[in-house]
Structure 1
Amino acid sequence: MYENAFPNKRYKHTIDFLKEVIPDTNQKILDLGIRNPFVDVMEREGYTVQNTTGEDLDLDTSVVQTDSYDVVTAFEIFEHLLSPFHVVNAIKGDKIVASIPLKLWFASAYRSKTDSWDRHYHEFEDWQFDWIFEKAGWEIKKSIKFTNPVKKIGIRPILRKFTPRYYLVYAERIK
């Protein structure tokens, strides 16, 4: 179903992780960000997913301040925000599954030349991402890192075969 190609490799790692940490597909998921192809993957696996509608989460966190969901997912969202701490802190739910692209020492942060939204304000090191959750009152229960090789020739593509690019975490609210 998922081949070893972008974005399918990332999707496979992400759905396998989600199924491991949230095995109950009856839990309602609030996915931060507009509907995207990975939502189709989650729904094919039996999850019920509602997306946010594109509101600027740096300015308005009200969408996560409700108890109408059991789990929040945030896949490659926090790197686009100026202040992801405020969103993580505002979440009313007890469970979150989130991923980010990791900062690569051999490549600068991603910035689209054609799309003003498609740029990364942050590319985190794992400890920085963990710290956001810990400071906001969450305990990270599980995390993984994985690579994302590309089919190009050069030094960077070789480094991408061995250097983790993505970081996934599952955290629960400390009560």
Structure 2
Amino acid sequence: MMQNKYRTVIDRAYLDEQGHLLRWQRTLEFLRGSSLSGASLVSGLDLGDRTPFTASLEQHFECPFENTTVDLDLEPLSGSFGVVTAFEVLEHLYNPLHALLEVKGLLAGEHACLFVSMPLWKPSILASSDHFHEMTRSEALSLFTRAGFTVLRSAEFRIRHPLFYLTGVKPLLRAWYEKVQIYELVIQ
């Protein structure tokens, strides 16, 4: 079986990277302000591979989470979930609209929500080689609207220690451009 060179490998190096740990912490802070806080959920879906953060989602939402194993660009998703998360996933897809339309069909319940995070657009000198779609805020909002979602809340945050940005020219540019955008979405 051929390995997909664009698929992020969840290994020890990935899990130990400080940027991921800080991103997970900031994401949980965002989730605490969610309209789903205190809601009774039966199950959730986390797009992508299972990570230690999936366990944090289960603890936060007090329900079990499944993870996807299909090609999110092409294959259908199935099930019914009160919450779906797509943290740092859409930028890796050729067709993020397909994935969002599939997720829309999975959301069930009066307060069902989709949470999405992705890096904000950066100039090509700073862009990641495994990202197909780094989007501006307006591009992300346009994608969500096209998929039939409305934004309830959004925020932006950085994932690096402030002193990192003083270590060179590219890190200094990252101080200006490198942010994560996060959204709480509901079906229109």
Q: TM-score range by the shorter chain?
A: 0.7 to 0.9
User: In 2, distance between residues paired with 1:60 and 1:106?
Assistant: 30
**What is the alpha-carbon distance in structure 1 between the residues aligned to residue 22 and residue 96 of structure 2?**
26
Q: Is the 8 A contact 2:87 2:118 kept in 1?
A: yes
Structure 1 residue 106: Cα displacement: 6.3
Gap runs ≥5 in structure 2: 1-17
Aligned-partner Cα distance in 2 for 1:52–1:80: 16
Contact 2:47 2:67 in 1 (8 A): yes
Q: Among 94, 99, 105, which residue is 1:87 paired with?
A: 99
Taking only the aligned residue pairs, the percentage that are identical comes to: 28
The within-5 A match list for 1:125-144 is: 125-144=136-155
Amino acid in the other structure paired with 1:169: Y
Partner of 1:43, secondary structure, is helix
CA RMSD of aligned residues (A): 2.0
1:8 equivalent in alignment to 2:21? yes
- The normalised TM-score by structure 2 is 0.76
- The one of 109, 122, 125 aligned to 1:107: 125
TM-score by length of 1: 0.81
Aligned-partner Cα distance in 2 for 1:132–1:45: 27
Asked whether 1:148 is paired with 2:166, we answer no
Q: Is 1:52 paired with 2:60?
A: no
Q: Is the 8 A contact 2:114 2:184 kept in 1?
A: yes
Structure 1 residues 41, 25: closer, same or farther in 2, change over 3 A?
A: farther
Structure 1 partner of 2:49 = 34
Greater helix share, structure number? 2
Q: How many residues align?
A: 160
